[in-house]
Amino acid sequence: MEYPEDYLNKIIQGDSLEIMKGIPDNSIDTIITDPPYGLEFMGKEWDSPKAMAGQIAHNEDMRGAFAYGGTHTRGYAAVDLCLYQEWTKQWAKEALRIAKPGATLLCFGGTRTWHRMACGLEDAGWVIKDTLLWLYGSGFPKSLNIAKSMEKFLKEGNASWNGTGNSSNGALGYSKLQYEQGYRSKDYSNAHQNEFKIQNEIAKKWEGWGTALKPAWEPIIMAMKPNEGSYTENALKWGVAGLNIDGGRIGTEQIQAHYAPKGTFAGGEPDRGSDTNYYTNQGRFPANLLLNEEAAEMLDEQSGINASRFFYVVKASRSERDMGLDEFEPQKVNDGRQTPIDNPFQRGETPRHNIHPTVKPLKLMEYLCILTKTPTGGIVLDPFAGSGTTCMAAKKVGRDFIGIEKEPEYVKIAEARINAIQKSLL
């Protein structure tokens, strides 16, 4: 299959909606991607539903989404979700066109918006087959301390308090007030919060209350482009069908496959059976639950047995995030809006070579590339390639890839990391 500008095994810089239009129909075997979740993560424009909507505002369906989301009965969050679902539908429709019948799509999502992502995929024509659960123990809670917030809010002289619990100046006025009262610095970070002590009797009643739970899992939506005929017919015509179950089996311990000594059959016939036992080391059937090492340790500790052996355990390398980036100038990353503890890896004073905020473990992506591998390997497409981990994983397991990434700074990082993987395989 020929691709414009030799797309194969490269990262193409640009908008995935436009780039995918240059890829032939029915030519992609697998799509594995970690698209924006529509949460405005770290203030990034690429994760803003409004920015996403702007990419396809000319589309009739998109104008309908604006109109539907803008009615007086729907709030701001509902408008954003409506736009996010429509944006998902638009890129997923193009992805469906270029995917082979029977192709699998694995799509990471956020716990607050993945339901809209799933609906967008279905609206585009994909069939939802399952949802994998990636469980990790290293997530950090992003929770507001209500008692501390209330203490400052009720501080004497707070002009925004009107006696009903509302801020008369709105959210922006409240943020400015917090800065003026020393609760937040000018960039809205909580530099002084750790030293703050609750004095107000009303606020004391709210000590221990927060606004969010510790994140510990991410969904991976598994969808399929409808087959042409049966799985068998589709496999014969397109070379794609189902999942690579044996390739994705968990563990390598031997399992006894035969135990029938002579004389054990009904009637005790002496010549029937065999005294030789046969074993297989296929491992366990792959499950829709994936664990990182910390989560596996927690599961084993709480169960009292090695329960994690039933699931795939991601063993991430400490150096893989910055692989191939030694010559990149380290940068400090801080979104300037939220508290330094909100995302400890991406905020603070530690310089980073790989500044992408949501890098997935390479071993996790390798496993997904193996699970969706066809008998001939098959091409993996990542329309939101980020810092290139999916493409790196595809090369490691012997598959070709096409990566698309809109942000130029991430393209450079992805290319360097992929080059490092390719050199390691020589």
196, 151 Cβ separation under 8 angstroms: yes
**Residue range 9-29, pLDDT digits in tens:** 999 999 999 999 999 999 999
Distance of CA 23 to the CA centre of its chain: 24
Which tens digits make up the pLDDT trace of 175-185?
Answer: 454 445 444 44
Which residues span the domain enclosing 267?
A: 252-284
pLDDT value at 64 more than 70: no
Q: Mean pLDDT over residues 51-78, rounded?
A: 48
Which range of 54-68, 105-119, 173-187 scores highest in mean pLDDT? It is 105-119
pLDDT of residue 19: 94
- The answer to whether the CB of 28 falls within 8 A of the CB of 379 is yes
Q: Are residues 230 and 105 in the same domain?
A: yes
In a domain, 140, yes or no: no
Does residue 242 sit in the same domain as residue 359?
yes
Torsion of CA 346, 350, 352, 358, to 10 degrees: -20
The token duo for 392 is 């790196």
Separation of alpha carbons 336 and 358, rounded Å: 18
Tell whether 396 is covered by a domain: yes
Question: Is 138 a domain residue?
Answer: no
Asked if residue 333 has pLDDT above 70, the reply is no
Tell me if 141 is assigned to some domain: no
Q: Is the pLDDT reported for residue 424 higher than 80?
A: yes
Q: Judge if 175 and 112 occupy the same domain.
A: no
Q: What is the CATH number of the domain that holds 95?
A: 3.40.50.150
In this structure, the answer to whether residues 226 and 106 fall within a common structural domain is yes
Of residues 292, 399, 360, the one with CA closest to residue 31: 399
- Do 123 and 226 lie in one domain? The reply is yes
Would you say residue 191 lies in a domain?
Answer: yes
Q: How far apart are CA 59 and CA 61, in angstroms?
A: 5
Higher-scoring residue by pLDDT: 313, 75: 313
3-state secondary structure of 395: helix
Residues 88 and 197 in one domain: no
Total domains in the chain come to: 3
Q: CA 277, CA 263: separation in Å to the nearest integer?
A: 15
- Using the predicted structure, report yes or no on whether residue 159 has a pLDDT greater than 90: no
Give the three-class secondary structure for 217: strand
CA distance 116 to 109: 10
For residues 367 and 229, state if they share a domain: yes
Q: Please tell me whether residues 118 and 223 are part of one structural domain.
A: yes
Residues 23 and 77 in one domain: yes
Pairing relation of β-strands 255-260 and 10-13?
unpaired
Residue 331, pLDDT score: 79
Residue 340 included in any domain = no
Question: pLDDT tens, 248-293?
Answer: 999 865 555 555 565 555 555 556 666 666 555 568 999 999 999 9
Shared domain for 22 and 120, answered yes or no, is: yes
Report the b/e string of 367-391 with b at 16+ CB within 10 A: bbbbbbbbeebbbbbbbbbbbbbbb
Q: When comparing pLDDT for 217 and 183, which is higher?
A: 217
Using CA atoms, how far apart are residues 351 and 150, in angstroms rounded to an integer? 34
pLDDT exceeds cutoff 70 at 169:
no
List all residues 6 or more positions away from 278 whose beta carbon is below 8 Å from its beta carbon.
256, 257, 258
> Which pTM does this prediction carry?
0.77
Q: Are residues 107 and 162 located together in one domain of the fold? A: no
Average pLDDT over residues 323-327: 76
Residue of 70, 72, 69, 82 whose CA lies nearest to 38: 82
Look at residue 78 and tell me if it is in a domain: yes
Residue 13: CA count within 13 A, CB half-sphere: 9
Burial class (CB in 10 A: 0-12, 13-18, 19+), 4: exposed
| Cα separation, 87 vs 81, whole angstroms | 10
Position 137 in a domain = no
274 and 384 assigned to the same domain: no
CB 387 within 8 A of CB 39: no
**How far apart (Å, rounded) are the C-alpha atoms in residues 415 and 394?**
14
**Domain boundary, last residue among 231, 266, 284:** 284
Query: How large is the average pLDDT for residues 322-335?
Result: 72
Partners of 108 in the beta sheet?
220
Weakest-pLDDT range from 193-197, 269-273, 287-291, 318-322: 193-197
Mean pLDDT, rounded, of the chain: 78
